[in-house]
Structure formats: structure tokens, C-alpha cells
Amino acid sequence: MTSINEPAENLFPEPVPKWRIERRVNPKRSWTFAMYALATLFGLFLSALLLLTSGADVFKAYSALLKGAFGSEKALYATMAKATPLILTGLATVVAFRAQVWSIGQEGQVYAGAMGAYLGCLVFIGLPAWLYVCLIILSGMIGGALLGTTAAILKDRFDVNEIISTVMMNYLIVFLLSYLIGGGPWTEVSTTVVYQQTGPIPAASELPYLLGSTKLHLGFILALTAALVCYVLLEKTPLGYEIRAMGFNPIALAYRGTNIGRTIIIVMAVSGAIAGLAGVSEIFGTAHRLRADTLYGLGYTGIIIGMIGGLRPLGTVVAGIVFGGLASGGLYMKLLAQVPDALVPAMQGILLLAFLCAGVAARYKLVRTEKDV
């Protein structure tokens, strides 16, 4: 047996860490707000560095961005139109993530919604205009909900991870649409060249424009309504109670009699329906024919919007409008300040990271380790 010859104090060379991270017991609203404000400035600062490296004039670029996003009535309408599908996919994220169901399926559900609605517009043709539009919206929501529910059933019955299943179904649905509009039954027939698109939708099925604008359509009202419905659902109904409780502690919820599998299915149906609405709004409010490229990325961006919005409906509306502004102002910035295309999504990414950091900074603090705790 070896013996220890050193004195006790020198036995242990390893230092004990001086700092640790602790949760704030009651984060103040003002502190949280300050963190997010700081994050915005920090995000803009980092974006400015990016603009500099690309050789653009930062001031010119930012003022073009602002002008293009919110500088005029017309710009504002364009921003709101761009924000519409983003708010909806953001809300779809809110509903799923609040329940800690990690659905990445908003992208596919947007496509499914657009396809459901297009099917509706073929089936219900000839009905009175208001009924026609309502049924189209409804079939779009059903399309998204069906796709979402599929993932939920796979999870409930076979314990298939929802992240995997939703991502895979995103691929499936895109290829299904490619088939339908690229040679399949929905392909535009009147032209000699085959584009990846359907023919124009009937005028009666278009979502009407608002305020005489040529960009802002009924979809924006639908998005605001959806936000209100989400808020009421989450905060004021027993189902919302279950969704929130499931997000925090599904074990206790199950112990006290709530069927978790069933709740997941409902969550995914609601989330899918809202994402589907984004597809309806984009196709029947903006593009006026079914094509894949206008739908691309709306679902994935929605995840960012929902996260930045703090998984709250109102926050999501705000975040959606900011991102809508980035999208429509980005175009301006590109034209006026010769900023490369790719910088706008890069800025979105930077802002997301900054906001996520702010979320952590608002909830935790660094504490000096006391001795002998």
C-alpha cells in the first residue's frame, strides 16, 4: 500500500470552478425587454460587419432596408403581405413547440395546405363566391392538418420521433407536388412549354385585396385572426392548459388523467391547419396559381419567427412583421445599395442567434461560487 507523504493542502491540484450559471427566480419584464433590445442592436451590428465585408455602404443599405420595409404606405402593405404566411407558420410553430412537440413539418404542411385548397378550388367551383372561398380555406386547413396528424399518429402508435417524420414528410409532399404540377394531372395545359405550375386559379377563388392595395389580401386578416385564436386557445381553454402543461411536465399531466397521445394528435392537427393556412394565403392571395417556388422556405422561416416571438402569439405577429419587412426591404436594399442577395437570409440568421442568446440572458445569471456550499 502506498502512503501519502505530501501535506493535506497540496494533495489536490485541481481548482474548483469560480462561477456557475443560475436560473433567475423572477425575471423582471424591463430586464427581459432590455436584453431583447440589446440583441437587436447586436444583431444589426454584426449584420453591419457582414455588409462591410461585402463592400456595401452600411448606412445606405440600412436606410434602404428601412424605407423598403416601412417607408411608405405601399411598402407597408408589401411588408404585411410578406409577413402573412410567416406569421401563420410562426403560429404553427408556437402551438407545437409550446407542447414540446418538436415538429419541423410546417414546411410540408404549407404545401399540403396549398394542395388541399387547390383541390377544393377544383371541386367546389360554381358555388357562391363567399362559400367558395370559405370552403377553399377550409380544405387548405384540412390538408395541413392531415399531414400534421400523420406525424402525430406515427409518434403515438409507433414512437416515431416527430422531428424525423415531419422532415421526411416535407420531402415527400414536395415531390408529390412536383409530380402533380410537373406532368401530372394538375399541370398547366394551355402552353406548349411545361412550367412547374398549374394554370391560373378562377378569379372567384382569389382572396380579396384589402384597402384597395394590390398586395395586401384577406390572408393578413386570417393571420391576425389565427394569432388571436391561438392566444385564446393557449391561455383560456382547457386544451390550451393541457398543451402548456404537456410542454412543462407531461409526466404529471399523464398522472392526472390526460391522454398524452391524444393531446399530441390534436396539437399537430391544429399546428398543421395553421401552417396549411399559410399555403392557402400564399397561393390564393399572392401567386394565384399553384407553384412550388413561392411556397419554398415559408415553413422553415416560421420556426425562426415562432422562436423569436418567444413562442407567444403576439410576439410571433411582431416577429413576422419584422421578417416581412426584412424580406420586402431586402429587395430595396439589394437594388439601392448593391447588397448581395444572400445577405438577407444571413441577417435573419444573425438576428435569430442574437434573440436566442437574449432569451437565455433574460432567464439566467452568472453567480460567483461561494466557498463550502
Residues that bind another protein (CB under 8 A): 1, 3-4, 8, 11-12, 14, 16, 25-26, 232, 236-238, 241-242, 244-245, 248-249, 251-259, 372
CA–CA gap between residue 52 and residue 226 (Å, rounded): 40
By the 8 A CB rule, do 358 and 336 touch? no
Q: Grid cell 412549354 — which residue?
A: 193
Closer Cβ to another protein, 73 or 370, answer by number: 370
Cell numbers that stand for 202 in this block: 378562377
Least distance from another protein to the Cβ atom of residue 130, Å: 26
* Residue 360: Cβ-neighbour burial (10 angstroms; 0-12, 13-18, 19+): exposed
* Residue 11: Cβ-neighbour burial (10 angstroms; 0-12, 13-18, 19+): exposed
Least distance from another protein to the Cβ atom of residue 14, Å: 5
Least distance from another protein to the Cβ atom of residue 357, Å: 22
Least distance from another protein to the Cβ atom of residue 63, Å: 43
CA–CA gap between residue 25 and residue 303 (Å, rounded): 28
CA–CA gap between residue 60 and residue 79 (Å, rounded): 20
Tally Cβ neighbours within 10 Å of residue 26.
4
Is residue 297 left, alpha or beta, with left meaning phi > 0 and alpha meaning psi from -120 to 50?
left
Closer Cβ to another protein, 214 or 259, answer by number: 259
Least distance from another protein to the Cβ atom of residue 32, Å: 16
Residues 6+ away with beta carbon under 8 Å from 32: 362
Residue 257 is classified by DSSP as T
Nearest in space to 322 (alpha carbons), one of 138, 109, 42, 79: 79
Closer Cβ to another protein, 253 or 298, answer by number: 253
Closer Cβ to another protein, 12 or 158, answer by number: 12
CA–CA gap between residue 247 and residue 352 (Å, rounded): 22
Closer Cβ to another protein, 11 or 366, answer by number: 11
Least distance from another protein to the Cβ atom of residue 13, Å: 8
Least distance from another protein to the Cβ atom of residue 70, Å: 36
Closer Cβ to another protein, 55 or 257, answer by number: 257
Nearest in space to 78 (alpha carbons), one of 301, 291, 329, 297: 329
Least distance from another protein to the Cβ atom of residue 100, Å: 12
By the 8 A CB rule, do 285 and 217 touch? yes
